[in-house]
Amino acid sequence: MVTRVAAKVESVIQDAVARPGLVTVLTGAGISAASGIPTFRGPEGFWVVGAREYTPQQLATRAMFVREPEDVWSWYLYRLGVCRAAAPNPAHEAVVRLERALGDRCLLITQNVDGLHLRAGSTPARTYPVHGEIEWTRCADACTPERVPMPVQVTTKCRGEPLTDTDRAALRCPACGAWLRPDVLWFDETYDEPRFRFDSSLRAAMRTALLLTVGTSGATTLPTLVVQRAAASGATIIDINPADNPLGDLAAHTGGGVVRELATDALPTLADLIITAARRRSAAPDHHG
């Protein structure tokens, strides 16, 4: 069943998928909202440290971690509890179906640290979590670039709950004993390739035929660059977001379109349209790979 809005972009999808190039999906907080995960950028992410209330933009920083590692950790362990309690939704599942049908032609770039794409079944090799993953840690002193899974002894927190002695003992680098830190990109840090696939994401953007932007407004640097590079390289962009945002204008400019629906409503249909178009391309007699 093709929704009215999705029907508008059907021919756009067919034309884009008929060209060579990747089908890239760029996802932001909007895709996880239906799973009950807030952005943590608004009031739901505020946190009291000492006598002061801090915003997520102040908390999710290296500067704050250096000053108040325990408070930053209890905030992340609270968020970890929210993420673990959530389940992937039909939009995450649609991305999995798309990847299974398209294989290496499909790439997922996600700003979300919640891990729901991988839990839904997206493969790590074709998933770039460009802002890190909340289930992983690394040495805060960077004695090694190795990632460490969240130690099993560490327990998630309720709002305002402090660390326990067990948490403090477990959140230590196995190599040097310094604090472990969340393996996420903080607001006062810059992207890199080994950890956040910066160069790979931009290269992929330039090889993209069809880019779906899902539940993101492109407010952070790398997603904005991905969208700009893809547009400059001739990709067709479709923006899926219930709210107007700057990516919508850019999508229209590329000959793509906007789908002003929730990802859970729109993405299953769009994935079907893309899969059908890709199969038609493979079956076409004039197709030479």
Residue positions annotated with a catalytic role: 131
Q: Does 86 bind Zn ion (CB under 5 A)?
A: no
Contact yes or no for 84/156 (Cβ under 8 A) = yes
State which residue, 173 or 204, has the beta carbon closest to Zn ion.
Answer: 173
Counting Cβ atoms within 10 Å, is residue 155 exposed (0-12), middle (13-18) or buried (19+)?
middle
Count the alpha carbons within 13 Å of 2 in the hemisphere toward its beta carbon. Answer: 14
State which residue, 180 or 274, has the beta carbon closest to Zn ion.
Answer: 180
Residue among 87, 90, 146, 134 at smallest CA distance from 110: 134
The dihedral through the CA atoms of 48, 52, 58, 60 has a sign that is negative
Minimum Å gap between C-beta 152 and Zn ion is 19
Minimum Å gap between C-beta 136 and Zn ion is 15
Size of the site for Zn ion (CB under 5 A): 6
Minimum Å gap between C-beta 113 and Zn ion is 21
Tell me which H or E stretch contains 248.
helix 246-253
Q: Retrieve residue 251's tokens.
A: 């999508």
* Site pattern 128..147 for Zn ion (x: CB under 5 A): -----------x---x----
Q: How many CB atoms lie within 10 A of CB 38?
A: 14
**What strand order describes the sheet that includes 208-214?**
127-129, 106-110, 22-27, 208-214, 236-240, 257-259
* Choice from 176, 190, 199, 244 touching Zn ion (CB under 5 A): 176
| Residues in a beta bridge with 259 | 240
* Choice from 102, 106, 173, 227 touching Zn ion (CB under 5 A): 173
Helical H runs in 86-141?
90-102, 116-120
State which residue, 148 or 225, has the beta carbon closest to Zn ion.
Answer: 148
Residue among 170, 188, 187 at smallest CA distance from 179: 170
The dihedral through the CA atoms of 215, 220, 68, 50 has a sign that is negative
Minimum Å gap between C-beta 192 and Zn ion is 18
- Specify the stretch interacting with Zn ion by CB under 5 A; choose among 129-137, 161-169, 174-182, 201-209: 174-182
State which residue, 40 or 136, has the beta carbon closest to Zn ion.
Answer: 136
- Specify the stretch interacting with Zn ion by CB under 5 A; choose among 169-177, 206-214, 218-226, 276-284: 169-177
State which residue, 48 or 176, has the beta carbon closest to Zn ion.
Answer: 176
* Choice from 2, 87, 175, 232 touching Zn ion (CB under 5 A): 175
* Site pattern 178..207 for Zn ion (x: CB under 5 A): x-----------------------------
Contact set with Zn ion (CB under 5 A): 139, 143, 173, 175-176, 178
